[in-house]
Structure 1
Amino acid sequence: MNKQQLAARIWESANKMRSKIEANEYKDYILGFIFYKFLSEKEVKYLKENDWTDEYLSELTEEDTETVESIQKNLGYFISYENLFSTWLEKNRDFSVQNVRDALSAFSRLINPAHKKVFEGVFDTLQTGLSKLGDSAASQSKSISDLIQLIRDIPMDGKQGYDVLGFIYEYLIEKFAANAGKKAGEFYTPHEVSLLMSEIVANHLKDRDKIEIYDPTSGSGSLLINIGKSASKYISGENKVKYYAQELKQNTYNLTRMNLVMRGIEADNIVTRNGDTLEDDWPYFDENDPIGSYNPLYVDAVVSNPPYSQAWNPVDKETDPRYAGYGIAPKGKADYAFLLHDLYHIKPDGIMTIVLPHGVLFRGGEEGEIRKNLIEKNKIDTIIGLPANIFYGTGIPTIIMVLKQKRINNDILIIDASKGFMKDGKNNKLRVSDIKRIVDVVTARESVYKFSRVVSRDEIRKNDYNLNIPRYVDSSEEAESWDIYASMFGGLPISEIDKLDKYWKAFPLLREELFENSSKGYCQLARNDIKKSIKEHSDVKNFEKKFQKAFQSFDKYLYDKLIVNINESSVLKSEEMLSEEMFKRLEDIPLIDKYEAYQLLDDDWTEIAVDLEIIQTEGTEAIKKVDPLMVTKKKAGKEQEVQDGWKGHIIPFELVQNTILSEEKERIKAQENRLSEIASEYEEIFDSLTEEEKGFDFVSEDGWVISEVKRALKSDSIELETKEKLETIAKINDEEKSLKAEIKTKSASLETKTKDIIENLSDEQASELLKAKWIIPLIQNIMQLPDRIIKELVANIELLEKKYETTFEEIENEITETEKVISGMIDELEGSESDMLGLKELKKLLGGVQNDERKW
């Protein structure tokens, strides 16, 4: 299964196991065991790379001091054979909670002193929480055994293994945060926000050989990791990023360290602190060597998502160099304290991004003074307004602020990105196209209608340093307006036709063919079939041809980059390279939103990237592999995983059947269609039964009783018409049985043939199937973009036509006519004296009085 499926399966199982434990606590346990598994298997891998074999692993003990020191020096820790995760699994029923206690105690004792900051106390939360996994040693052992069985399938070996592990780790953190509300959401920055910040930072740092990055409120460490990942697209070589992190909460601090280590980052490149960022700032020094290790921390980038509007202690902070020249944040809101802390720690050519509540843009008092000083000192580079409900546990509007120590510009780019998102349950989520759009605008520093604007410092001064986004960027949709003349007399207002100007620029001759002027400022449609008129117009056909020409060789380009050079394609860099090629082809094409096209690319890229990871890790033979298809079934009241056929490791069975085995697939499909027809025939004959026939035993509430049908056919007392119906039922029942047996046999045969074909694919066939899986669907989706534009234009014109198709005069006439009809019907009614008086009054209201007496 791919990493998404594996992660979902682990989450589903974890959900079942945490009924008695708080989600946030259970997260610490499951992630702690995942980390221990990672360290165990990393050590085994290291040993095997140094000539150890499985048969000698049992000799891995503390007594072998030479081996212990070698492992400690290279990995930073040591785990003996008896404490390895794999040894726990081998124990089966002999496994107990004491094995875990002993292992974690030994781990703490055997950390390399040079790597204590990375590993010391990292399992404290897990160790103290073991007692919560059951009320006795036996129940604790059972819970832990279930848990380690749950995570045993996470691969830890090779490049793809680390990617899978990191993905599952972040997936679980996100799921726990989403389900535990604010408590867990405090330390988790949604992946999409993290990615947006990372891309902005990475773009600024792209010309550097190595970088240092720092997160003073690191939480789970996802922000740091994503920035390192984004920056790696531009930096050649490995281990060129150094990570600094500080986190106040011990449990969350442990998550930071685990996450960084599990991403394959060298221990020497991880510098972490467990402390209060605002009270206990860097410079960092090691207590064992305060002078020699003194490091006044200045880094290339600082990123943070601090707790919003948190109380803090501003007493005696006037002399703190972080705040000098800017001001002190109020004690009830530490937002600007965190911002100034971040700003202080970036190098002169560095960058920082911080997530803050929207209020920091306009609140007065001490915050207003700090904001003024930041603007006058030219530190604020960009402000990005995010959609509401984008963070777990809070619906408050948030922003990303980008600041730099030294800037060429003296203006501020303000972006309102609050309208670009997709719904994801209760939360809103940035799409990759939204992220790309924002990053491109930040990079180009451009003003885009209804989206962004470069604002001068003078304008901000005139607004008393208020940076509230709506003051500068109006992203609201235009309110619906109605033309009074057109509403009264009909016709289409030319002013509203003008609003479709982008289409008329692209199709310059189309407008005059669709509309004809009826009076000054008004027109009407000159064609009855709008859709046909637009589709067949030469401007539109030329537009479609131009698009097709631009993309006619895109499939060949994709084939060459992704399949011919499959082992050279960087999973990290390929999507950006493909998007650049796509944007280049769209340069001269009007109307097409390049970000919509990019979203189509990314929708397919997610699956392509997973496949590429596997192929590049396992080799091209992975394309020709099949895996057991495991399903959960109930046996003896218990859910068990059993094999139910096969599935392709890379190539889906359905794809092979739809291409290479299409004739066999169609024959089975035809028989399945016939089965559906038989079901309808059963129902049709059942509906034709008389009430007397429905009383016989061959009919039940659920339909036909076939055994009774056959018995009735042997009876001489049955009427001829009834007998004919039963004969038809018996006949189609025999056909149904035969069809089901044939379909079962043919389906099994088809699956066997599919498995055989995949396992014996030629290299050429494998390439063609990858093309069918990766490239053809993407090309088909892209080629539909012009049609979407045409449908939008048709919909806009039809909506405008419908808006004014009925005039007020016509409505008035309809009302008058209806009143006459109802009035006439009242005349035919009879009733008591009081009823008739009431009806007479109703008739007056409906038109029984003169028009000049009616009130409108």
Structure 2
Amino acid sequence: MNKQQLAAKIWASANQMRSKIEANEYKDYILGLIFYKYLSEKQTQFAYKEDWEKEDLKELKEEDEETVKHFKGNLGYFIAYDNLFSTWIEKGKDFDVSNLRDALSAFNRQISVKHKKLFDGIFNTLETGLSKLGESAAKQTKAVADLLELIQDIPMHGKQDYDVLGFIYEYLIGMFAANAGKKAGEFYTPHEVSVLMSDIIADHLKDRSEIEIYDPTSGSGSLLINIGDSVARHMDNKNNIKFYAQELKQNTYNLTRMNLVMRGIKPDNIFTRNGDTLEEDWPMFDENDPINSYHALYVDAVVSNPPYSQKWDSANKDADARYRRYGLAPKGKADYAFLLHDLYHIKPNGIMAVVLPHGVLFRGGEEGAIRKNLIEENNIDAIIGLPPAVFFGTGIPTVIMILKQKRENTDVLIVDASKNFIKEGKNNKLQASDIKRVVDTVVQRKTIPKYSRVVERDEIRENAYNLNIPRYVDSSAAPESWDIYASMFGGIPTKEIDELYNYWKAFDGLKSTLFSNKTEVNCELKVDDVNAAIHEHESVQTFISQYNKSFSSFSEFLKKELLDNMLTLSISKQETLLSNDIFKRLEPIPLIDKYEAYQLLDDKWGVMEVDLEIIQTEGFEATKVVDPNMVIKKKDGKDQEIQEGWIGRVLPFELVQETYLKDELQSLRAKERRLEEIGAELEELIDSFSEEEKEEDTFKETGDAFVNAQVTKLAKELKQEEKKNGTFEADSYEFKILAAEKLITEEKELKKAIKEEDTALHNLTKTTIEQLEDEQVYVLLELKWVKPLVDALYNMPMAIVDTLTDKVQALAERYAITYSDVANDINKAENSLASLIGELDGNKHDMEGLNELKKLLKSED
């Protein structure tokens, strides 16, 4: 299975195993064991490179000091054979939780001095929390054994961009965060927000050959890793990136270290610290060698998502180099303390990005003074307003602030990205197109109506250094308004037609084709069929033709990029290359939103990326591999994994059937369609029976379905009777029962035939995939990768035309009925009702009431 399927399977199983343990705690067990498996297999792979044979691994013992020294010198740690993850798996039922306890204790003894900070105590959370997995050693053993079995299939070696382990680790962290409520914010920044920050920083650093990045509130380390990934796309050697991470909470600090190590980052490039960022700044020296290790930490980029509005001790901090230039944050809100810490640690040509609550933009007091100093010192480069509820556990509005030590310009770019998101469960999520729109806006410092604006410092001064986003960017939707003249006299207001200016500019002459002037201020439609008039107009046809011409070679371009180069292309860079080509083709085309096009690409890229990773990792022959389709089903009251047929590792069965097994597929589909028809015919037949007839034993008690056996039995008798006495009268009970029996028999035979054909087609598809010629694989990959994207992009111009059609028709309908028409209708209805009231009779009081109502309803002449 691919990495997404494997990650989802592990999460589903882990979630079932979790029982009463909170997600925030359970993650420490499963993620800790994944890390231990990683270290075990990394050591095994190192041994094989050193010409050890599999049988030799049993000689990995602590007593062999020379071997231990050699392994520790190269890996930073040593694990004896008995403590290897693979050894535990081989033990099977003989595994005991004590094996894990002994192994973790031994690991702490066998860390090299050089890597003590990186590995020391990294398994403390796992080790001390084992007791929560069960009241007895037997229950703990069972829980750990289940976890070992769960994660044993995760591959721990990568090739090119096939980072399976990293993906699964990140996936599990995200899923645990989503299920951990408010506690999630302590260790996880949503992937999309992380990517947004990373891409902005990466663009700033793209020309540097060596880079240092720092996260002072690192959490799981995912934010730091994403920046490393983004920066690495612009570098020839990713080993030229150094990572600095500081985290206060011990268990979260362990996550940071594990995550960094498992991403294949050289241990020498990882610098971590378990400490209070505000109370204890990153030390300028190693505590073990303070004289010879002096090194002030100034980095190329700082990124952080600190805890929001946290209390802190600001006493005696006035002289702290981090704060003395700008001021001290209030004791009840440490937001600016974190920001100033970050700013202090970036180089003069560095950049920082920090996530903070929206209040930091406008709150007064000490925060207002700090904000003023930051603006006057020209440090604030950009402010990005995020959608609400993008972070787990909190719905408060948040912003990303981008700051630099030195800038040439004195303005501030303000972006309101709060309206761009999709809903996913309880949370809002940034789409790939939302992220790219923000990044492009920040990098290019673009002013876009209702989205972003470059604000000069003088304007900010006039606003008393208040940076509240709505003061500068109004992203609210225009209020709905009605034209009073058109409401009274009809016609379509000219000003509302002119609001479609972009369309009239793109479609020359279309406006005059659709509308004619009625008065100075309004128009009327000239055409009866708006849809036809727009779609057939010459300018619209030219627009579609121009678009199609621009993308005429796109299919061939994709085939060359993806199919011809599938084994050698850089997966991490390919989506950017494709999007750049799409954007270039769209440059001369009006009205098309290039970010919508980018979203179409990203939606399809997810499929291509998985396939390319598999092909580059396993070779082209992986396209012809068919795997067992394993599903979880209940058996004997327990969830068990069983095989249900087969599934193509790369090529979907349905695509192969539609391409190379059309006759067999069409035969099966025809039978399935007939089966649906029979179901509808049976429902119609049941409705034709009377309620009394439905009381017969040929119907179920509910009266909405036949008892098939009884229908068959009765029909047999009726056929005998029919032979004697002739055909039953149409619409009689007997006639309809015979019709039902015929349909039921056909349905039964069809179900049997469908099952047999479906099984035969499934098996034939398996054989077909395994025996495909290379040329056939290329055809299928084109259909899977290229055609869906090309088709989606080719639909874009027609969507624009349809949108205009809807807008014009809505305008026409809006004022089709005037207020005068409505008033006259009401008047007629009231007079009619008054007349009807005059025909009523009643007692004295009733008549007085009716006469008064008539006076109110009756119009005056």
Structures share fold, TM-score greater than 0.5: yes
CA distance in 1, matches of 2:160, 2:840: 84
- CA 1:530 to 1:731, structure 2 compared with 1: closer, same or farther past 3 Å? same
Q: What secondary structure is seen at the aligned counterpart in 2 of 1:700?
A: coil
Task: Using the TM superposition, give the Cα deviation of residue 160 of structure 1 relative to its aligned residue in structure 2, in angstroms.
Answer: 6.9
Residue 832 of structure 1 pairs with residue 843 of structure 2: yes
Contact 1:162 1:264 in 2 (8 A): no
Equivalence for 1:481: 481
Task: Using the TM superposition, give the Cα deviation of residue 648 of structure 1 relative to its aligned residue in structure 2, in angstroms.
Answer: 0.3
Q: What secondary structure is seen at the aligned counterpart in 2 of 1:288?
A: coil
Equivalence for 1:412: 412
CA distance in 1, matches of 2:348, 2:161: 38
CA distance in 1, matches of 2:450, 2:98: 62
Task: Using the TM superposition, give the Cα deviation of residue 782 of structure 1 relative to its aligned residue in structure 2, in angstroms.
Answer: 0.6
Range that drifts further, 597-606 or 153-162: 153-162
Equivalence for 1:614: 614
Matches within 5 A, 1:644-793: 644-690=644-690, 693-701=693-701, 703-715=705-717, 720-721=728-729, 722-793=733-804
Contact 1:57 1:81 in 2 (8 A): yes
The one-letter amino acid of 2:809's match is: E
Q: What secondary structure is seen at the aligned counterpart in 1 of 2:672?
A: helix
The one-letter amino acid of 1:708's match is: Q
Task: Using the TM superposition, give the Cα deviation of residue 694 of structure 1 relative to its aligned residue in structure 2, in angstroms.
Answer: 3.4
Equivalence for 1:176: 176
Task: Using the TM superposition, give the Cα deviation of residue 400 of structure 1 relative to its aligned residue in structure 2, in angstroms.
Answer: 0.9
Q: What secondary structure is seen at the aligned counterpart in 2 of 1:158?
A: coil
Equivalence for 2:357: 357
Contact 1:353 1:402 in 2 (8 A): yes
Residue 850 of structure 1 pairs with residue 839 of structure 2: no
- Equivalent position to 1:801, from 812, 826, 847: 812
CA distance in 2, matches of 1:709, 1:564: 62
Matches within 5 A, 1:376-775: 376-690=376-690, 693-701=693-701, 703-715=705-717, 720-721=728-729, 722-775=733-786
Q: What secondary structure is seen at the aligned counterpart in 2 of 1:384?
A: strand
- CA 1:602 to 1:713, structure 2 compared with 1: closer, same or farther past 3 Å? closer
Q: What secondary structure is seen at the aligned counterpart in 2 of 1:642?
A: strand
CA deviations on 1:287-330 (whole Å, 9 max, x unpaired) are 22122222110111001111111111111112111112211111
CA distance in 1, matches of 2:692, 2:784: 57
Contact 1:178 1:185 in 2 (8 A): no
CA distance in 1, matches of 2:493, 2:238: 63
CA distance in 2, matches of 1:694, 1:306: 69
Q: What secondary structure is seen at the aligned counterpart in 2 of 1:519?
A: coil
Contact 1:351 1:402 in 2 (8 A): yes
CA distance in 2, matches of 1:713, 1:498: 72
| Normalised TM-score (structure 2) | 0.96
CA distance in 2, matches of 1:714, 1:646: 42
Equivalence for 1:854: none
Contact 1:450 1:474 in 2 (8 A): yes
Q: What secondary structure is seen at the aligned counterpart in 2 of 1:265?
A: coil
CA deviations on 1:721-740 (whole Å, 9 max, x unpaired) are 44443433333333223222
Q: What secondary structure is seen at the aligned counterpart in 2 of 1:769?
A: helix
The one-letter amino acid of 2:819's match is: F
Matches within 5 A, 1:157-236: 157-159=157-159, 163-236=163-236
Equivalence for 2:301: 301
Contact 1:351 1:403 in 2 (8 A): yes
Contact 1:160 1:614 in 2 (8 A): no
Matches within 5 A, 1:281-292: 281-292=281-292
CA deviations on 1:255-304 (whole Å, 9 max, x unpaired) are 10011011111111100000011111123422221222221101110011
Task: Using the TM superposition, give the Cα deviation of residue 22 of structure 1 relative to its aligned residue in structure 2, in angstroms.
Answer: 1.7
Q: What secondary structure is seen at the aligned counterpart in 2 of 1:293?
A: coil
CA distance in 2, matches of 1:417, 1:671: 51
Task: Using the TM superposition, give the Cα deviation of residue 717 of structure 1 relative to its aligned residue in structure 2, in angstroms.
Answer: 6.5
CA distance in 1, matches of 2:484, 2:752: 70
The one-letter amino acid of 1:704's match is: F
CA distance in 2, matches of 1:83, 1:833: 102
CA distance in 1, matches of 2:228, 2:607: 23
Task: Using the TM superposition, give the Cα deviation of residue 18 of structure 1 relative to its aligned residue in structure 2, in angstroms.
Answer: 2.1
Q: What secondary structure is seen at the aligned counterpart in 2 of 1:280?
A: coil
The one-letter amino acid of 2:814's match is: K
Equivalence for 1:274: 274
- CA 1:684 to 1:484, structure 2 compared with 1: closer, same or farther past 3 Å? closer
CA distance in 2, matches of 1:526, 1:682: 51
CA distance in 1, matches of 2:685, 2:335: 75
Structure 1: segments with no counterpart, 5+ residues: 852-856
CA distance in 1, matches of 2:152, 2:846: 83
CA deviations on 1:776-825 (whole Å, 9 max, x unpaired) are 00111111111111111111112212221111110110001111222222
CA distance in 2, matches of 1:741, 1:549: 51
Q: What secondary structure is seen at the aligned counterpart in 1 of 2:523?
A: strand
Task: Using the TM superposition, give the Cα deviation of residue 768 of structure 1 relative to its aligned residue in structure 2, in angstroms.
Answer: 1.2
CA distance in 2, matches of 1:218, 1:751: 49
Matches within 5 A, 1:142-153: 142-153=142-153
CA distance in 2, matches of 1:712, 1:392: 63
CA deviations on 1:811-851 (whole Å, 9 max, x unpaired) are 1100011112222222232333322222222222222x637
CA distance in 2, matches of 1:822, 1:726: 54
Q: What secondary structure is seen at the aligned counterpart in 1 of 2:179?
A: helix
CA distance in 2, matches of 1:811, 1:713: 62
Equivalence for 1:822: 833
Task: Using the TM superposition, give the Cα deviation of residue 661 of structure 1 relative to its aligned residue in structure 2, in angstroms.
Answer: 0.9
Equivalence for 1:248: 248
CA distance in 1, matches of 2:118, 2:51: 27
Task: Using the TM superposition, give the Cα deviation of residue 161 of structure 1 relative to its aligned residue in structure 2, in angstroms.
Answer: 8.9
CA distance in 1, matches of 2:687, 2:136: 63
- CA 1:75 to 1:482, structure 2 compared with 1: closer, same or farther past 3 Å? same
Task: Using the TM superposition, give the Cα deviation of residue 446 of structure 1 relative to its aligned residue in structure 2, in angstroms.
Answer: 1.8
Range that drifts further, 24-33 or 63-72: 63-72
The one-letter amino acid of 2:308's match is: Y
Residue 136 of structure 1 pairs with residue 136 of structure 2: yes
Q: What secondary structure is seen at the aligned counterpart in 1 of 2:219?
A: coil
- CA 1:197 to 1:821, structure 2 compared with 1: closer, same or farther past 3 Å? same
Structure 2: segments with no counterpart, 5+ residues: none
Contact 1:162 1:262 in 2 (8 A): no
Q: What secondary structure is seen at the aligned counterpart in 2 of 1:392?
A: coil
Contact 1:302 1:352 in 2 (8 A): yes
- CA 1:679 to 1:132, structure 2 compared with 1: closer, same or farther past 3 Å? same
CA distance in 2, matches of 1:7, 1:60: 32
CA deviations on 1:601-642 (whole Å, 9 max, x unpaired) are 000111111111111111111111110011222222222111
Contact 1:495 1:521 in 2 (8 A): yes
CA distance in 1, matches of 2:367, 2:605: 44
Task: Using the TM superposition, give the Cα deviation of residue 65 of structure 1 relative to its aligned residue in structure 2, in angstroms.
Answer: 2.4
- CA 1:486 to 1:710, structure 2 compared with 1: closer, same or farther past 3 Å? closer
| Normalised TM-score (structure 1) | 0.97
Range that drifts further, 309-318 or 286-295: 286-295
CA distance in 2, matches of 1:46, 1:699: 72
Equivalence for 2:371: 371
Contact 2:162 2:617 in 1 (8 A): no
CA deviations on 1:759-790 (whole Å, 9 max, x unpaired) are 12221111111111111001111111111111
- Equivalent position to 2:822, from 811, 823, 829: 811
**How many residues get paired?**
850
The one-letter amino acid of 2:763's match is: T
Range that drifts further, 419-428 or 650-659: 419-428
Range that drifts further, 135-144 or 829-838: 829-838
CA distance in 1, matches of 2:215, 2:373: 24
Task: Using the TM superposition, give the Cα deviation of residue 667 of structure 1 relative to its aligned residue in structure 2, in angstroms.
Answer: 0.7
Contact 1:62 1:68 in 2 (8 A): yes
The one-letter amino acid of 2:317's match is: K
Q: What secondary structure is seen at the aligned counterpart in 2 of 1:45?
A: helix
